[in-house]
Chain A
Amino acid sequence: EAQVTQNPRYLITVTGKKLTVTCSQNMNHEYMSWYRQDPGLGLRQIYYSMNVEVTDKGDVPEGYKVSRKEKRNFPLILESPSPNQTSLYFCASGGQAYGYTFGSGTRLTVV
């Protein structure tokens, strides 16, 4: 089954403790992206990747890092999380013609 898999689904952490949210796709897509969803703001792009070793900032990249060492994986790294990063995060892969496929989301709470 074609899918984007994110882990974990839920995460509660403390301010400043580094964490990684993993994202993996099995569709051989070149393009992958991370979004955060906040009430009333819709989804905003954090980072995207056009291919292996090619990444670029989206609209709200501050406080986040990404890497793309393999085509299928695109982890999101928060090196020093803060409470304003409490949000629902989505990974997506695909392209225009396919419509993007989204993961099930990771609900992150930073206390």
Chain B
Amino acid sequence: AQSVTQLDSQVPVFEEAPVELRCNYSSSVSVYLFWYVQYPNQGLQLLLKYLSGSTLVKGINGFEAEFNKSQTSFHLRKPSVHISDTAEYFCAVSRGTSYGKLTFGQGTILTVHP
């Protein structure tokens, strides 16, 4: 079985500051890893994904994440956040196959203050 833990339920940050949203996973098999963003009253939008290859993955809106197999982590980072980045962020994991259940973390609410 696979599981995901997002270590912070809420992260407040000031505009233009850097941010890191932490995600740890557990799985006995190879995995694919994802970060999704949910803006208020909207569905989930894919930010980035790690399938294989380079452990540093770049996504949309200036976000990036680094896959660390030894620490079973997939932390999301942005060097300078904007007010518009205020949203809930979900880390998700699935087995490394063509189709598979996405298992989500509990979510991290990022609030960017002016």
Contact-size category for A = 20 to 34
Question: Chain A residues near B100 (CB, 8 Å)?
Answer: 96
Besides A42-B4, A43-B90, 5 more A-B contacts (Cβ < 8 Å) are: A30-B99, A50-B99, A90-B43, A95-B99, A103-B43
Q: Using CB atoms and an 8 Å cutoff, list the residues of chain A in contact with chain B.
A: 30-31, 33, 35, 40-45, 48, 50, 58, 90, 92, 95-97, 99-105
Contact-size category for B = 20 to 34
Cβ A58 vs Cβ B101 within 8 A: yes
Cβ A31 vs Cβ B99 within 8 A: yes
- Inter-chain CA distance A58–B101, complex, in Å, is 8
- Inter-chain CA distance A33–B34, complex, in Å, is 16
* B101 interface neighbour in A41, A45, A105, Cβ under 8 Å: A45
Cβ B104 vs Cβ A99 within 8 A: no
Given known A96-B97, A102-B44, contact A42–B32 (CB-CB < 8 A): no
Q: Using CB atoms and an 8 Å cutoff, list the residues of chain B in contact with chain A.
A: 4, 6, 9, 32, 34, 36, 42-46, 49, 51, 90, 94, 96-107
Question: Chain A residues near B9 (CB, 8 Å)?
Answer: 40
Sample 10 A-B pairs with CB under 8 A, ordered by A number: A33-B102, A41-B106, A42-B104, A43-B44, A43-B90, A95-B99, A96-B94, A96-B97, A99-B46, A100-B46
